[in-house]
Amino acid sequence: MVKRTDLKTDRFYKRAKKEGYRSRSAFKLLQIVNKFEVIKKGDTVVDLGAAPGGWSQVAKGLVGDKGMVISVDLQQIEEMEGVVSIKSDITKEKETVTAVREKLRSKGRDLVDVVISDTSPKLSGKRDYDHFRSFELSRSALNIAVALLRKNGNFVAKIFQGAYYNKFYKDVKEKFGYTRAYSPEASRKRSAEVYVIGKGLV
């Protein structure tokens, strides 16, 4: 859990405030994209677990006017220019896929180029339990990505490290031509989170 006193000295928190990002997490996605080039101009991106919207801001900036960003969260996401938002529980995978497809169709689009997920469960402080809930969310993100992505599409998902991490990594590896795990500099040192990157849906 993050203490208010920690935030005052956190350089990514300060930079997010200064640069107008809704979350310090925005820098994690920027670091992932710098290293793995998973998002490009014109792409259609689906951002799962998107509130308050830092990753969606970054994605929108990268895809530009010809691209599209669809943000999904349990919570209402405050309106953002050029970003379509959906209130949905990603563990209800079919409902989420249907809702995203409806938005795509309404904009004359069909398939998705990139699915990103920074989804986190509410933390209980019990490491094994939080890990398992994070695994469940990441697994749903992967299933949604496989349903929505075009061939060769890209995927990024957060998972907390723990007993099911290797299984998740292996599941991503089975679906994508290139798979890596990455801890961006903007992740807090104490954090158990890691991002699994899958490039090139087979």
Ligand X SMILES: C[S@@+](CC[C@H](N)C(=O)[O-])C[C@H]1O[C@@H](n2cnc3c(N)ncnc32)[C@H](O)[C@@H]1O
**Which residues of the shown chain bind ligand X in the complex (CB under 6 A)?**
22-23, 25-26, 49-55, 73-75, 89-91, 118-121, 137
> If you write DSSP's letter for every residue of 43-91 in order, what string do you get?
-EEEEES-TT-HHHHHHHHHH-TTSEEEEEESSPPPPBTTEEEEE--TT
Q: Which is nearer to ligand X, 120 or 200 (CB)?
A: 120
**Residue 151 Cβ vs ligand X, minimum distance, rounded to whole Å:** 26
Farthest CA pair distance, the chain: 47
From 51, 94, 41, 45, select the one nearest 72 (Cα to Cα).
51
**Residue 40 Cβ vs ligand X, minimum distance, rounded to whole Å:** 19
**Residue 118 Cβ vs ligand X, minimum distance, rounded to whole Å:** 3
List 28, 60, 158, 199, catalytic entry: 158
d(CA 131, CA 88): 22
**Residue 154 Cβ vs ligand X, minimum distance, rounded to whole Å:** 16
Contact between residue 72 and residue 111 where contact means Cβ atoms under 8 Å apart: no
Q: Which is nearer to ligand X, 52 or 200 (CB)?
A: 52
60 given a catalytic annotation: no
**Residue 199 Cβ vs ligand X, minimum distance, rounded to whole Å:** 20
Q: Which is nearer to ligand X, 7 or 74 (CB)?
A: 74
Q: Which pairs count as long-range contacts for 173-178, CB under 8 Å and 24+ apart, including other chains? A: 173/198, 175/142, 175/146, 175/201, 175/202, 176/200, 176/201, 176/202, 177/152, 177/201, 177/202
Residues 6 or more apart in contact with residue 3 via CB below 8 angstroms: none
Q: Which is nearer to ligand X, 176 or 195 (CB)?
A: 195
Catalytic (active-site) positions: 158
